[in-house]
Amino acid sequence: MPRSSKISPLPSIRKRLHSQTQSSDPLDYDQSASTPRAPESGPGISESTECTDSGVANVTSSSNPSDSVLSNNVPPNAQKEPSNLWVMALDQLSKGSPDEQACIRQLQKAELLPTVVDRQSIIGKHVVDDVHSLLKRKLSESDEKAFEITFRQKTYRIRDVLDKTISWLNSFKEVGDIAVNYDPVHAALPWAAFRFLLQTMTIGMQQTAEMVIGLERSIQFSLRGSIYEQMYLDGTNTEPQLILQAALLDLYRALIVLMSDSVKHQETSSLRKAVAGTLQPQQFASTLDKLDAKLAWVETAVNICHRQKIIRQLDKIDTRLQALLERQLDGLDTKLADVWTAIQDRERIEAMQWISHVPFESDYGNIKATRLEGTCDWLLIHPRYIQWRQSTCSRTLWLHGIPGAGKTRLTSRVVEVLMNDPLITSGWESLAYFFCDRNRPDRQDPAAVLRSLVRQMSFQNRTQDIIACTHELFMRKKTMGFASAELTMEDCQSLISQLSRSRPKSTIIIDGLDECNPKSRHVLLKALDSIRATSSPGIMKIFIASRDDDDIKYQFESGAHLRIQVSNNQGDIEKYINDKMQSSRWCRERMSESTRINILDTFRRKSQGMFQWAALHIVELLELKSDSLVLEYLNKLPVGLEETYRQVYESIDRRKKHLTDRAFQWVMCSWKPLSPQELVTAVAQDSSKPFNSQVDIDINMLMDSCKNLLVVEDREGGKFCRFSHLSVQEYLELHHFTNTEAASFVLDIHIKYLEVESNKSRAPSEWHKRMNLWHRQVEMVDGKVLPATRDSIKRFLGHPTESSLAYRRWAQAVLGYNGKDDKFDILLRQRNKSGEEHGISWICCVAYCIYDVLQDWLQTKVLKPEDMMYGKYSALGFASLCGQPLIWDLLVTSGVGINLPTGTFSTPLLQLVAGGDSRLSKAEALLEHGADVNTKDPYFGTALQMAASYGSFGLVRLLINHGADINMVAGNYSTALQAAAAHSHREICEILLEKGADVNIFGGSCYTPLMAAVNQGDPVITKMLLERGADVNKGDTRNTKPLHEAIFWGNASMVKLLIDHGAEINVVSSRHGTPLYVSIASVSNPSSEVISLLLGAGAHLGECNDAVVIAQLDSFERGELMWPKPT
């Protein structure tokens, strides 16, 4: 592949702006209209580029990659006539989704679109004058009718709205011939539609009033758009102007759609308008919300243009237009002020560090440094990538391939291109990326991924101002003293959704998703899907690179995906090999041309598109410096990475094998990356010998011995050692040291060091700190270690309730620099029975998943279940608090703390039931190991009541099958049946009744199950209870009956149901009086239907002295007074 020249980003924007008429994607405010077409053969390919319900794009291959956004020969600052944005908007809609094309046909039918003559001539002011005259006429009509409308919980006087519209129009006329001459189609299109709507509307109808509101908004936005075009769009097409042009185009499309909907409404027959109305209130409100959002983006773009104009053309500002614009904007809220909040430098840094401390830019920089200039460009011109990038819908693209195929470098190239996109550098669009790493805990945690994305999306690129929603959450958490140390997954997901809605487009890039923790990766997949689905009106683009792990494949394979083929990487691998040979003096000066050709040919055939394979072999090959040796090496080259790693490993010098094996094991399982100095110190240690402070190993010697399987990488904060590729670690784990073996080897070094107090004075401070954090190391492998290592840890911990001196010394030391660890604060600041601080070592096993040791203690009965309680927490409560599911399972199977308090809840069973049916298997395990199914909690009641109130059908069945007392009285709802009725869980009510639930037990906040069902307004459960014998006249302590409650809620069908089942019609409640009195005096919206039902059943007011109620009832009975039937 020829080396590509540097590409200017401005043609990309220009191409997007002026070629959008070729796109068939629907606008983001009408995504529901799209209909996916039948796919072509081949994975992830579809004829259509419309948005799908899943939001994952299907894309079409192009036979001409040169048509991509990367190809455009127009100079970035060429002067030309300003584009007619209204014509562009019309063209895009005419080629858009079916609904958008219908909008154009509607305007054509009404003869409101500009003709060819209109596009080529100047339209006079008579159209605008006609609109002005019609507005004045409608203003007079509104004076006569004084019509008002309530919209969005606000009352509008139509006269005021029309008066405001005339004010906008007067402002437009102040611009005068400048506006009309500048944009004749602007005069031809919107003003002709405005005139048509005013000619056909009738003041006094609800839908017409909504149309007046829409008309006022349309005229205002059209005016502002016209002024912005004249002030800022002079045809030079600078970066800020292109941004504004894109925003105005988006606004004009939305205005045309609103005009079309209004015209369609006016052409609907009067009868149909009266019955339903074409403009539905909720749809109309949603349309205005989207208009407001699009104008907000215009205002942001204007701000960028205005800054540029002040800097470059201060002396040329049109003061007349500027004054007019300022007058129109006076008193109006601008989106920019709402979105960006300037904060102090110190607070900004504090906020950044609180959100995420991952140095994402350094990760990107390190990867970019390993990528040869001019490689990876094939992806940028691939049709699937182009269509993903150009689409006007939220979409996901999945790049996948075999290990060593160069996915990470390809991802870094995508990041590089987007980082230089002027729409992103200006802050108009946002970009956030993350490179996952299996060997670094903060790079494989789903929450850490999302927190980093939040940080990147929350700050404006140029000013580093923080977006308001993130700043508000930060200040709220800060005010509370950061009670929650970090952003939760839920916090991050909500914030990213809000942040994506604050910009027209956002892009998220995640590399190495397969290296994210497989136990919790599903949470990240679900979050990304939700973020994409909730980004509207913004557009969310997601780029994922990973291997073909089953869960990732299941998530993305049905959508747009691009599998890296051997042919894709072949050209880049040849460039890489040529570059390496060119950098070798021997290759440049002495290697024969035939040998050079042979090398390229062999690498082409055997690399199979794997960069990692090529990188390993070219280094060894260039060290030979002999044509004959090179040719011999080429003949023996293995195919595939695994055989390559075998040969490299076997070629390691036997005299240094013990050093390289130690290095591999340390790098393989270390909870924190090792610096070169730390690695050589680690390699010098032998667990069977005292600490060796005399390190005579050089890092360069060690790296040479490891044969490029390990590398030293520059990162933020220093240099660190890592495997050259994840597949190296996988090979070693499979063939040489399991993760358990490596972790045991490393932990033996830790324990040996910590048992000798004098080591502190002999070791470097950083090494001493690393040794003290041994619990991080054991947590990495869930406490699964070799038996010999388990015994070493037991010796270090001492007795589970009377710990060793070495353990107490360690706990005291580690508290000094590990204060941010909540587990230490909660679990280690305690005394044992002898009064010694930090004396209970079993707590450490629970907190840090030292599984094998805890299991051994329990099995040998060195640790007894009755000894595993501290304060209000049982061991099970500790395990839940620390998020240790393996320890939780171990404690349950060992019968530890099954019925003891967990802190918030009286028992572990109640704690599980609060999590719903997702905790079904764990609840079953508790019950099978002796959990008391009928334990009472003062507020939650029994586990069965809690499950019934939460609607957990599976848990309800489980608890009943394990002997739960269905009629036990306890807690807020008294019984399980009342709890289910109070939340309208019909299936649960049915199963409880089938199992013998008492329908008339009195107590709880709703008094009886029937009262709960009536309060909820559920006729099905009410009828179910009455048919099972519920007492229709059993009420509360103040004699308020179910009939009173049904009347109070205005539920006529419920009133009839209760009367039909024998409800006392004239019973007196000390709180409300008789049912008839309640129906007139105690409800906000009396119902003639309810009152008629009561009177028909013989109801009377009783001893009523309320003259108003008596008079109202008398008028009702004479037919002189009626109340509207409640909706």
pLDDT tens-digit readout, 956-970: 999 999 999 999 998
| Average pLDDT over every residue of 237-256 | 83
Interior/surface letters 627-640, b for 16+ CB within 10 angstroms, e for the rest: eeebbebbeebeee
Reported as a pLDDT band with limits 50, 70 and 90, residue 668 is: very high
Name the nearest CA neighbour of 226 among 120, 129, 128, 141.
128
Q: How far apart are CA 1000 and CA 1022, in angstroms?
A: 13
Reported as a pLDDT band with limits 50, 70 and 90, residue 360 is: very high
The pLDDT, as a whole number, for residue 525 is 94
Q: What percent helix, strand, coil does the chain show, rounded to 5?
A: 60, 5, 35
Residue 1102, domain CATH = 1.25.40.20
Name the nearest CA neighbour of 189 among 279, 114, 295.
114
Q: Tokens representing 857?
A: 């203690």
Across 478-596, the runs of DSSP E, i.e. the strands, are: 505-511, 539-546, 561-563
* Whether residue 315 has pLDDT greater than 90: no
* Whether residue 834 has pLDDT greater than 70: no
pLDDT tens-digit readout, 835-851: 455 678 898 898 889 99
The pLDDT, as a whole number, for residue 148 is 60
| Average pLDDT over every residue of 633-647 | 89
Q: Are 495 and 473 in contact (CB under 8 A)?
A: yes
Query: Do 1078 and 1123 belong to one domain?
Result: yes
Looking at 332, 356, 383, which one is the last position of a domain? 332
Query: Do 948 and 927 belong to one domain?
Result: yes
Query: Do 406 and 474 belong to one domain?
Result: yes
Domain hosting residue 662, numbered range: 655-678+689-737
* Whether residue 293 has pLDDT greater than 50: yes
Q: Which helix (H) or strand (E) holds 808?
A: helix 805-815
859 in any annotated domain: yes
The pLDDT, as a whole number, for residue 1073 is 84
Q: How far apart are the first and last CA of the chain?
A: 70
**Nearest 10 degrees: Cα torsion 915, 917, 922, 928:** 120
| Average pLDDT over every residue of 1007-1025 | 91
The pLDDT, as a whole number, for residue 171 is 62
The length of the chain is 1127
Hey, what long-range contacts does 1077-1082 have (CB within 8 A, 24 or more apart)? 1077/1101, 1077/1102, 1077/1104, 1077/1106, 1077/1109, 1078/1044, 1078/1047, 1078/1048, 1079/1047, 1080/1109, 1080/1112, 1080/1113, 1081/1106, 1081/1108, 1081/1109, 1082/1048
Residue 419, domain CATH = 3.40.50.300
Lowest-pLDDT choice from 261-270, 411-420, 472-481, 846-855: 261-270
Q: Which helix (H) or strand (E) holds 714?
A: strand 710-715
56 in any annotated domain: no
The pLDDT, as a whole number, for residue 138 is 66
910 in any annotated domain: no
Query: Do 454 and 546 belong to one domain?
Result: yes
Looking at 903, 932, 949, which one is the last position of a domain? 903
459 in any annotated domain: yes
- Percent of all residues in the chain with a pLDDT value above 70, rounded to a whole number: 76
Query: Do 985 and 1063 belong to one domain?
Result: no
192 in any annotated domain: yes
Residue 125 CB neighbours (<10 A)? 15
- Location of structure tokens 């040489």: 736
Q: Which amino acid is at 686?
A: D
Lowest-pLDDT choice from 627-631, 868-872, 940-944, 987-991: 868-872
Name the nearest CA neighbour of 623 among 702, 707, 699.
707
Interacting residues of 126 by C-beta distance below 8 A, sequence separation 6+: none
Q: Are 735 and 663 in contact (CB under 8 A)?
A: no
Query: Do 147 and 270 belong to one domain?
Result: yes
Q: Which helix (H) or strand (E) holds 870?
A: strand 869-870
Q: Are 379 and 413 in contact (CB under 8 A)?
A: yes
Reported as a pLDDT band with limits 50, 70 and 90, residue 213 is: confident
* Whether residue 88 has pLDDT greater than 90: no
Alpha helices by DSSP H, listed for 584-610, are 585-589, 593-606
Reported as a pLDDT band with limits 50, 70 and 90, residue 693 is: confident
612 in any annotated domain: yes
Query: Do 366 and 500 belong to one domain?
Result: yes
Residue 699, domain CATH = 1.10.10
Residue 574 CB neighbours (<10 A)? 18
66 in any annotated domain: no
- DSSP code for 33: G
| Average pLDDT over every residue of 14-29 | 37
Give the β-pairing of 395-400 and 561-563. Answer: parallel
Q: Tokens representing 626?
A: 């002999």
Query: Do 576 and 673 belong to one domain?
Result: no
CA 150 to chain centre: 35
Alpha helices by DSSP H, listed for 816-850, are 822-827, 842-847
Query: Do 144 and 265 belong to one domain?
Result: yes
* Whether residue 544 has pLDDT greater than 90: yes
The pLDDT, as a whole number, for residue 25 is 35
Reported as a pLDDT band with limits 50, 70 and 90, residue 199 is: low
Query: Do 154 and 104 belong to one domain?
Result: yes
Domain tally, the chain: 7
Choice between 188 and 999, residue whose per-residue pLDDT is larger: 999
Choice between 347 and 727, residue whose per-residue pLDDT is larger: 727
Lowest-pLDDT choice from 111-115, 320-324, 621-625: 320-324
Interacting residues of 723 by C-beta distance below 8 A, sequence separation 6+: 439, 667, 668, 709, 710, 711, 729
Across 319-384, the runs of DSSP E, i.e. the strands, are: 340-341
Q: Tokens representing 102?
A: 């219908």
- Percent of all residues in the chain with a pLDDT value above 90, rounded to a whole number: 32
Q: How far apart are CA 247 and CA 214, in angstroms?
A: 20
pLDDT tens-digit readout, 116-159: 544 444 444 566 666 767 767 766 666 555 556 555 555 656 66
Integer-rounded Cα Rg, in Å, for the chain is: 37
70 in any annotated domain: no
Looking at 872, 903, 934, which one is the last position of a domain? 903
Q: How far apart are CA 436 and CA 521, in angstroms?
A: 11
The pLDDT, as a whole number, for residue 208 is 61
| Average pLDDT over every residue of 489-517 | 92
Query: Do 895 and 990 belong to one domain?
Result: no
Query: Do 537 and 437 belong to one domain?
Result: yes
| Average pLDDT over every residue of 89-104 | 81
Alpha helices by DSSP H, listed for 590-688, are 593-606, 611-622, 627-636, 641-650, 657-669, 676-683
- Mean pLDDT for all residues in the chain: 79
Tell me the whole-structure pTM to 2 decimals: 0.58
